[in-house]
A and B are shown apart, each in its own frame.
Chain A
């Protein structure tokens, strides 16, 4: 399922050519499949600072049956089994001097990391620091992790999770996600969790079992992949798309045993129709994924009002209106509901010719941040996912050069697949992700744009 260049670069002839020419050598990423072990190799766990999070880390690794090697053995042992992941618990840093032990631990461990390995750093949020030195030490983690992400080869990724005091239980789900193949294209990200009552997933193989999940824009592209992954994870998917895309939508629904709802989300009565449908057919909804989105590119000076307005209506206003209608409808948005809104890299970095699109996608990020407390009060969450360069029918139509450059300017040297976005959204939709709220997670292979 990799793109042509990745396939080519990994062929016998392609390997020779790309090496000789010094071209990027993207590898096929380790992607999740049901039944797959959490990691393809053992883990080493180290500390820099007090190490408040060790218990949570140990419990997650034990439950997943991952072998934990001691860093001492790892250090200097050249012939040992290659590592699946390197985890640094950097909670309790007080001064930048504490970071020296981070360096001491990480350098030899990362040398032993296998392909599609994971580097994960856990720390306290810089914003909660009580002294400038403490804030400096915590913020340093940001630069450290992002740089590791850029140094890693062969499909390996580096990410960080900031865990405030009292939010230790919220760490487990992100930890599993970042270690697993579900996070294949998530790289260089800094996630902050929050304290929450975190329910366990009833079934790790089907974390969405019994859930009703709405996915807009599900007829094709990323939306169709989200629908597939949600169904694989056990959800009944209500696949929504415009009536004109109804045949493709029906095929998606039939493929995954879901249902098709033909609805233009920008219609005046769309929120009400969706609410009624969910109430009548399913008695409520557990997961809502606002994925439908459009582009109408033009330089701002040449952009007519229609382009501006339609993009805003689909990408932002519909998400606001539908979410509000669900919040207002008694009992429809179930307790513990998960809302995931698709933003975009353009909403973070901006993009020439996309003032309307970037504005709408940045708006989504502001929206989830603002709504998070209200959702938390219901045991629910609302988050955004910002895809980078994802290989879809849409991007397949881009000119060759633009497409090739777009897909290579990231640490993983390749475009992501729709399934990578879908896996991230499905993870945020899990009951156990209760402690991730108001966040925007980029699925961009650590793109250089807006980083």
Chain B
């Protein structure tokens, strides 16, 4: 056994997945809660694989935007689902990395023999997002609650000023910089000189490929309709570079502003789940093994003071994982790079091609090199489907596993997901 090789454990199998179609914020799922969506997604998975009344090893899932009522969200969803009430569950949260991280956690427990089966998932709603009240009003309300007499209560109420009654709507902004994620991505895009046209090309291709995949029936066993929606309603099958070129930039400033609503993901609602298991469990149930989760890696960058882009952590995670597995960046049949923004995908690939960056930042002798674009996000990605934060990982894992399975045994796929807080989660699947 080579010195840096991983200890021998079994590999967790990916049996399949389910998600509900993703919906742009405030549309089809405007009245659905995280729990509604996650429960429906679990039930669809149960129906696909005949798991009614079954107790799986555990369910790990999470949401990025949570209400106080989403306490124990995953366990509550399990209790409302067709799974046996004896199925344990816990919540995970790693921003946009939540779904993939949940899959890694479940896979690791399977690899260690602690569980035989598990479900990893994620859900998010930006329509039914929690509204917080400002700190001033919150203090008044807390003292109101603890007031013992009517007089104390009136006194407390008298402290309320009109300015306090403005709810804080959660923004997609980094707490430490106050910048929106898109503004961060725009800085990185400018740094790496990512052009408008290549971003629009990537976005148009994502839409076209995903629409074609739907038409081919690729999603027939990956998606279950929900609340009248049978396909992602962000999907624009007729998207084109020409149409996207007409949009004005929304992130970045001046000449260098290239990021539009068309090449950035919109706020989205949705949920996804992936069924993982040991090979033995799958075999005993007569269920397929689409692929195995080979390895995973997380990384974080110091985007606050360290001069690295907020969404660049996967760039660092991938070489570590490749080295551990004795692989090069070119040893893959499919690449799934989460399209938070088209520019993020392009900057990620550019960084891996850049000799100086790879040497100085990644400590590599040679650049990782380029990726065959024909193998990148071949059935579309987040720009087309939308991106309900915690649900994206499950969408990618299940889709990639199916692609690998369809292509034949011994095929390899790389997943790269960037996340808020300067984090990244990456993984290797193999059929």
Contacts and interface: CB of A to CB of B under 8 A. Distances in A.
Interface of A: 236, 243-247, 249-251, 253-254, 257-264, 267, 269, 273, 280-283
Given A244-B225, A247-B224, A283 B219 contact: no
9 contacts: A236-B50, A244-B230, A250-B46, A253-B47, A254-B82, A259-B47, A260-B48, A262-B221, A273-B217
A427 B3 CA distance: 65
A282 B286 contact: yes
A263 B48 CA distance: 12
B103 interface: no
Contacts of B287: 281
B410 interface: no
Residue in B226, B230, B287 with the greatest tally of chain A CB atoms within 10 Å = B230
A246 B225 contact: yes
A259 B50 CA distance: 5
Contact of A249 (B47, B217, B223, B286): B47
A234 to B, nearest CB: 15
Interface in B250-289: 286-288
Interface in B216-247: 217, 219-221, 223-226, 230
B212 to A, nearest CB: 14
Residue in A258, A269, A281 with the greatest tally of chain B CB atoms within 10 Å = A281
A303 to B, nearest CB: 27
Contacts of A245: 225
Nearest to B53: A257
Contacts of B52: 253-254, 257
B44 interface: yes
Contact of A246 (B44, B46, B49, B217): B44
Nearest 9 interchain pairs by C-beta: A250-B47, A253-B47, A260-B47, A259-B50, A244-B230, A246-B224, A247-B225, A254-B82, A262-B220
B40 interface: yes
Contacts of B101: none
A243 B44 contact: no
- Interface size band for B: 20 to 34
Contacts of A281: 286-288
A246 B226 CA distance: 8
B44 A247 contact: yes
B43 interface: yes
Contact of B46 (A247, A254, A267): A254
Interface of B: 40, 43-44, 46-50, 52-53, 82, 217, 219-221, 223-226, 230, 286-288
Contacts, number: 69
A267 B217 contact: yes
Residue in A236, A260, A267 with the greatest tally of chain B CB atoms within 10 Å = A260
Given A244-B230, A250-B43, A254-B46, A263 B220 contact: yes
Chain B's interface: helix, strand, loop or mixed, by majority? loop
Contacts of A236: 50
Nearest to B286: A281
A246 B50 contact: no
Contacts of B288: 280-281
A254 B217 contact: no
A262 B224 contact: yes
Contacts of A258: 47, 50
A250 B50 contact: no
B91 to A, nearest CB: 24
Contacts of A247: 40, 44, 224-226
Contacts of A282: 286
Nearest to B45: A250
A259 B49 contact: yes
Contacts of B230: 243-244, 246
A281 B46 CA distance: 14
Given A245-B225, A246-B230, A247-B224, A269 B47 contact: no
Nearest to B20: A247
Given A249-B47, A254-B52, A261 B225 contact: no
A282 B40 CA distance: 25
Given A236-B50, A280-B286, 15 more contacts: A243-B220, A243-B223, A244-B230, A245-B225, A246-B44, A250-B48, A258-B50, A259-B48, A260-B44, A263-B220, A264-B220, A281-B287, A281-B288, A282-B286, A283-B286
A245 B219 CA distance: 14
B210 to A, nearest CB: 15
A134 to B, nearest CB: 54
B286 A269 contact: no
Contacts of A253: 47, 50, 52
Contacts of A273: 217
Nearest to A276: B288
Nearest to A261: B221
A261 B50 CA distance: 11
Contacts of B40: 247
A244 B49 CA distance: 19
Nearest to A249: B47
Contacts of A243: 217, 219-220, 223, 225, 230
A249 B49 CA distance: 13
Contacts of B219: 243
A411 B227 CA distance: 42
Contact of A250 (B53, B217, B224): B224
B103 to A, nearest CB: 22
A247 B225 CA distance: 5
Given A246-B230, A269-B217, A254 B48 contact: no
B176 to A, nearest CB: 41
A281 to B, nearest CB: 5
A258 B286 CA distance: 14
A257 to B, nearest CB: 5
Nearest to A238: B50
A259 B287 CA distance: 12
Contacts of B43: 250-251, 254
Contacts of A244: 225, 230
A257 B220 contact: no
Contacts of A259: 47-50
Nearest to A248: B225
Nearest to B18: A250
Contacts of B226: 247
Contacts of A264: 217, 220
A124 B414 CA distance: 70
